[in-house]
Every structure is written in C-alpha cells, then in structure tokens.
A = this chain, B = another copy of it.
Amino acid sequence: MISEITIKDEFWERYIDLIKNEMIPFQWDVLHDQGNITIDKVRNNASIPSDKSHAIENFKIAAGQSKGHHYGWLFQDSDVYKWLESAANVYRIAQDEKLKEMMDEVVDLIEDAQDEDGYLSTFYQIEAPELKFRRLFESHELYCAGHLIEAAIAYQAATNDDRLIQVVEKLIRCIENHFGSEKGKINGADGHQEIELALVKLYEVTQKEEYLELSKWFLEIRGQDPEFYQKQLDENRKIGLGKEHPFPINTVYYQAHKPVYEQEEAAGHAVRLVYMAAAMADVAYHTENKKMLTAAKRIWKNIVKKRMYITGGIGSTVLGEAFTFDYDLPNDTMYCETCASIGLMFFAKAMLKNEPDAEYAHVMERALYNTVISGMAVDGKHFFYVNPLEVNPESSRLDPTKSHVKPTRPSWFGCACCPPNIARTLTSLEQYIYSEMNDTLYVNLYMDHQGRVKIQNEIVEVEQKISLQSEGSIQLKVKSSNPIKLALRIPTWVENMVIKKETKEFCYEVIRGYAVITIDQATTLNLTFDIPVVMHQAHPKVKDDYGKVALQRGPFVYCLEEEDNGKDIHLIRVLDEFKTEVLNQCDLGKLVSIKAKGEKQIIDKEWEQKLYRGYEKPSFTKNDLTFIPYHLWENRTEGEMQVWIHKK
C-alpha cells in the first residue's frame, strides 16, 4: 500500500538516529577498509574470512579501477547494497548532502562494475568468470541481485533518481537470458532466496508483470529437481571447471529438497526459509495463487506454533543456522539470528496482505521488539548475530559448542549480514504499521507517527500517539473525506482496553484480533488499557523451558541479568508479585523495569568438596529481582542473562 509516514516516536527515533549518526558512517568506514575497526569471528572456524570487509575494493577491482583479488564471502557485495538501502532510507527521512554524495559514489561504482551484458557479482567477475551461474548452491549471485534490487528501489524512492533501477533492469535481463524452463537455460534457483521477494517489490514499484512472473518462476522451480545443485557441479567437473564439493549438498538447508508447494515444515537455514516464505506470500497475493498461500500458511503455522522462541527468534541450531524439529527450543545453544527475525517480519507483513489476522502482526511485533532490536547495542556500534535466551560467559569462552553465543556484542563481523539488515529495517518501519484489505485500513503496529495512507483511492490522514510507560494509552487521529473502516489490532499484552471516540465509549466488533470501527471524516480515537506483567509458560513439550516462566510487559519480553541479580541465575526462582518501575538510566535509555519477589537456592557448606550427595530438600533465601527488557541485555557489563526463569 502507498503511504507517506513519518515516525515521531521517542523509542524508535533513538534507533533511527543511531543508524544515521553512528551506523551508516561506521559501516561506510568498514566497507572502505578505513578507520580503526575490529572485526570479530562469528565463531571459532578458521574457514571464515574475517580480516576486513574489502567490499568496496571488490567493486573497484570488478570495475577495472583497481587491481587485486576478491576478498570476503561470496555474498560480500550485498553488504554494499544493504548499506545503500539503509542510507537511502535515512536520506528519505532527512536529506543530507554529505550522505547523498556517499550514496552516489557507491551508485557510480556499481554502474561501473556491471558487465556489458548486465551481469554483476564481483567474486565471479574477478575470480571465476567461467563459473558465472554455475555454482548456484553457494554463489549468492541472485541473492546479491535481490539486495541490489531492494537498494535500487530505496534509492529511487529517496532521490527520484532511477539510475540504479536501470542497472537492476539490465541485470534482470541478463538473468532472464540465462534462466528459464526453455532448453539450454538454467532450470533452477539460487542457493539463497532473496531475489524472489525483491522482484515482487520491483513489480509493486514498476507494475511490470515480468518481474512478478520471474519471482514466481524462481519459487516454483526450487526443489523441482533436488539434484539440481549437484548436477551443476557434476556438469562443471565434466567440462573441467571448478572444484568438487567435499560433501553431499544438504538440500534441506536450501529448502530445495522438494517443491515449495509440498513443503510442510519450516526446515533448513532459517533466513533462507523466511525470505522464501515472504516471497511466497507476496506472490500468492499478487497472482491470487491459493495453493501458494496454503503452502506459505503451513510454513507460518509450523514456525509460530512449534518452532519460534518467545523472543520471536528462530533457528534452533548453530549448525546450518537452522530449524530442527517441533518444540526443540534450547535457550543456550540456539542460533536465533537477527536476520532471521527480520525475515520473519517480512513474512508476517506479506501474510497480512493476504489475510488480515492479528496473529501475523503479533508475531511481527514480537520479533521486532525483542530479537531484531536486541541485535544492536544502545551505542549503535555493536551487534549480535546470535540472540540467545540464556548466556553464561564462561560457557561461551570454554565450551566450544557455544562459541557462537557471544556474551557481548562484537563491533563487526567478517560476515556482516545482520547490522545493515537492522539498519534498513528500522529505517523503513513505517511500512509495517498499516495494511489494507478491501475497504478496511488495518493498524498493525503502534508507535508515534504522522502522515497519509491511500486506501481505495481515498487519502487518509493519520496520526498516532502512544504511551506504554505506566498506564497504556493510544491516541489515533484519522481524517478522510469519506467514511472508512478502521481495524485496530488488539495487542495480546493489553487488559481492560477501552476505546473512545473523542470521549465517548462505544461498541465495536472484534474480527480476527482487530477491533473494527467505522470512521467518518475526522475522528479521534482514544484507547486506554492496562499493561500487566504477564508470566508466560511454554508448551510442555519444550523441554528446555520445563518449570520455567518468561515475563512480558507490553511488546517486550524481559530477562534477568547478572548485573542486577548476581551470578547463578539458574538458582533463582520467581514468585508471582510484580511491580514496574520507570527508570531513566543513562546507559539503557528510558526503561520500564520489573521488580519481582524471588528466591535463590542456597549452596550450603556441605557442598564443599562434593559434586553429588543424597537428596535433601533445597533451601532458598529471599531475593529481590530486577528484570529488564530483553533487547537491552548486555549493554552494561558482561555477565549471565536468562529469559526463562524457574517458577516456584
């Protein structure tokens, strides 16, 4: 839907400012290998390139402006594209000539690096032109193309300049020349989904059906021949090209084990899965493809009913950064990549186009307010890729199977997918607030903003003001020349909600989690509600949460940190009295903490020099507990953290 909205929310503006003032310039330095930047290892694995970014230099070499070898991941180009997309988003919010110059330098370089025939992927251009599109399981050529498309759309929206769109259209012609069901063309898709969702966006902007068709084609060809990737490698070997892959290709990892229509579960690499599912939902919407929608919905259900952390994190295992099986949600070995939760937001947003059901927005909000923003420190310069629900710094250091679970946010990684993904998402948050269906405008997220949305050729002026600090209130001003229907998502975390038109209470119907209200011309709605502290429990089959609870207040899941609660958090159990406290901590910002009564198991003297002993009923001492919002963890000192806490 078309909207022009400006976010004026204290909470979110802090993030947007951090992105503008800290992250964009910081990442600029990273991409240019300048400045004093420490690049950390994602985990202990010697095969991970991590000395420097080299991303801009790769483009210069591909453009012939510089000499040398490609360095970094096969998807290193996408770091540049995601930076550009974020920069464009920021520029759209607040024009800044310095930023425009930086963007244009990058756009020039991309134009210059593109091959005559439209091809663009610096690794293959520099190191292995003979292998272009011939190692799709790992090449990320179309993945990068997808990110370039998204960057081009953002850049055009921000600057009205279609130079990058032209690069993109030339690249797509190149792709169309190489891919397709016709004899002699490549009949398969990239090993990392992304172009599929980007092509739909491009279709939405350009209205050119071919992009929608190409997206659908990539979705439908996936998994038709599970041997496709292996056959490419065999074919390469036959004609003397390229190296062998040392072990069998795990097609589930790539969601290429069966056609998307037949995929019953969320399986394989989590980011790939949600990027694919988002595109499925998008394509289903635009092509009215019910079968595709059913398949997307099946994947959605499997995620949110069986495979999602309470923080909106997904990906239960580090190996393959992947889904495992139903109810397998370990809290201290999981992956829960920031990018995967961002992808889950994409997926939710795309599902909302198809059917207005508040559940999609609930999950979108859960991912956004917890795992997504947990990915970034309050200084805007340190980032989590992995978002654990339980951390012990000693484990991260001394148990090699937890080396991926960082106890502190590193400044930058060799694989820099997450930070720029956060940046582009948080600078385009206004796109997640509303959705439409027929004559109804759906309000999915609540944050202070002002602007206009267009629904069925009707321009609607909207303004929102929200307070979640002590008592909850939302004021919503809506103005349109004709009556429209407004559907307000009722968050799962409110109680005793009252909706008033101006000052009068009135009756409203609740449909699939939305309060549906007819609005005539200019209306002010005042919503008031309590925001209780809710103790959640997980499905009993979630072994790792047995006997434990997780606190939530508003959209925020809470955690205990060692800083406030001491060591050995696993020995703490929570009672059920809570009160909230609004703090303004210089290091954490404006913060609602939860104070709770708890108990902590005593380690008595008898335990000295003993590892096991006969059972005695354990003793506890009273313990005052302080919970903070999960996304704020590890912004003070390194220490233990835990979301799921034993319940007395």
Contact = CB atoms under 8 A, between A and B. Distances in A.
Interface stretch (A301-309, A446-454, A511-519): A301-309
Quick one: copies of this chain in the complex? 2
A516 to B, nearest CB: 23
Contacts of A246: 46
Contact of A571 (B546, B570, B610): B546
Given A324-B398, A610-B305, A615-B535, A603 B317 contact: no
A540 interface: yes
A540 B398 contact: no
Interface string A211-247: 0000000000000000000000000000000000011
A647 interface: yes
Contacts of A398: 324-325, 328
A579 interface: no
A538 interface: yes
Nearest to A603: B540
Interface of A: 46, 246-247, 304-306, 308, 310, 316-320, 322, 324-325, 328, 333, 392, 394-395, 398-401, 534-543, 546-547, 549-550, 568, 570-571, 576, 601, 603, 607, 609-616, 618, 646-647
Nearest to A323: B398
A324 B399 contact: yes
A305 B611 CA distance: 5
Residue from A246, A310, A333, A398 whose CB has the most chain B CB atoms within 10 Å: A398
B536 A317 contact: no
A317 B400 contact: yes
Contacts of A601: 540
Nearest to A540: B603
Contacts of A547: 547, 646
A549 B603 CA distance: 16
Given A568-B541, A611-B538, A401 B647 contact: no
B537 A616 contact: yes
Contacts of A610: 305, 539
A206 to B, nearest CB: 39
Contacts of A316: 399
Given A247-B46, A401-B333, A310 B612 contact: yes
Given A317-B401, A324-B399, A541-B603, A615 B571 contact: no
Contacts of A537: 612-616, 618
A125 B549 CA distance: 61
Nearest to A303: B611
Given A401-B319, A568-B541, A603-B540, A647 B546 contact: no
A322 to B, nearest CB: 8
B607 A539 contact: yes
A472 to B, nearest CB: 18
A536 B541 CA distance: 25
